[in-house]
Amino acid sequence: MLAFETDAILLRRIEYGDHDFIITFMTQDRGKITVMAKNAKKSVNRFSGSLDLFSFNHIQCRFPKKNKAALITLAQSDLENGFANIRYDVYKTAYASYWAEMVNLWLEEGKAQPDVYDLLLFSFDMLNRSDMSKEVLSLLFQIRFMSVSGFSPGIERCGTCHVHLDHIPEKRMRFDFKEGNIVCPKCRVNGSRYGLDVSKGTLKQLFWMNNADAGKADRIRFSSFAVKEGQVLLESFIAFHMAREFKTLTFLKRLRNDAWT
C-alpha cells in the first residue's frame, strides 16, 4: 500500500525549513504517526485551517517511494472539527496541551491504540463544549488514560493486605508511587514508601470516575479540595511512572497557582 487515509487528531506541529511542518497525529487505526506536510505554509487548498493544534481531521498520506526511512508525506487534510474554543482559552489550551504531550510521549509510533484515541477525542470535545469543568475533565482523562494504557493506579483496596477501602477505618491512605497502589495505615512502614497521603473521599470519587460510563462523568461533583488533591495525586503519579517532566504541566501549574493566589 502506497497511500492511506484515516481520521486523526493533531498532537504536535514543528516548523521545518521555510515552508514545511513535521506533524504528529494520533490516528484512529494506525496509532501515533509522524508526517511531513510539505509547503504547508503556502498550500491553502490542501491544508486550510486543518493544521492547528488539537484539530480533528480526515487525512490522506503517502508512503515514501524510494527512501524507506523518510517520513510519510501528508497529501491532504480536511478539517472535521477545529475545537476552536480550546485555542481561544489559555486554561483550556494548557490542559489540552498536557494531555497531548502525555499521549505523544507514551505511545509507540505506528501502534494502534483505539481506546486512547477515543478518550482523547472525547476529552477534547468535552473541553471545547465546556460540558464539564476543565479541572474535573483532566482528572477523568488522566485516570482513564492510565487505565487503558495498562498502568492504572490501585485505589480500591490496600495493595499489601488487600482490604477494601470501605473496610479501612482511617480517613487517609498512603499512595505508593513505586507500587502504584494505596497502602493502609496498618501495612505502611514509615519512611519506606515514596508517595503521598490521600483522603478516602478523593480515592472513591476517582474510582467511580474511572469505572462509570464516560457520558455520565459530568454528574460527579468534586469539592475544590478533592480536585486539588486528585490533581496532585494523578499528575505526580503519571510523571513518576513515565519518568518524564512535562513542560506543559509546568506551565499549567503556573497558571493554576496564579489563579489561586
In sequence order, what are the residues at sequence separation of 6 or more whose Cβ sits closer than 8 angstroms to the Cβ of residue 228? none
The per-residue pLDDT for range 215-236, each reduced to its tens digit, is 676 677 788 899 999 999 999 9
State the Cα torsion 179-185-190-192 to the nearest 10°.
Answer: -10
C-alpha cell, 258? 496564579
What CATH superfamily classification does 90-260 receive? Recombination protein O, C-terminal domain (1.20.1440.120)
Longest dimension (CA), the chain: 66
Looking at the chain, the domain(s) classified CATH 2.40.50.140 span 3-82
Element (H, E) at 34: strand 31-37
d(CA 70, CA 91): 36
Where do you find CATH 1.20.1440.120 in the chain? 90-260
Alpha-carbon span 239 to 189, nearest angstrom: 24
Name residues of the chain where pLDDT drops below 70.
1, 44, 67-68, 190-193, 215, 217-218, 260-261
Cell digits of residue 252: 499549567
pLDDT of residue 258: 80
CATH of domain 3-82: 2.40.50.140
Q: What is the pLDDT of residue 261?
A: 55
Residue 68 has what pLDDT?
Answer: 66
C-alpha cell at 164: 477494601
Apex 227 CA angle, 81 and 153, nearest 5? 85
- Cell numbers at residue 31, please? 496509532
Bridge partners of 199, per DSSP, are 172
What is the structure's pLDDT at 53? 92
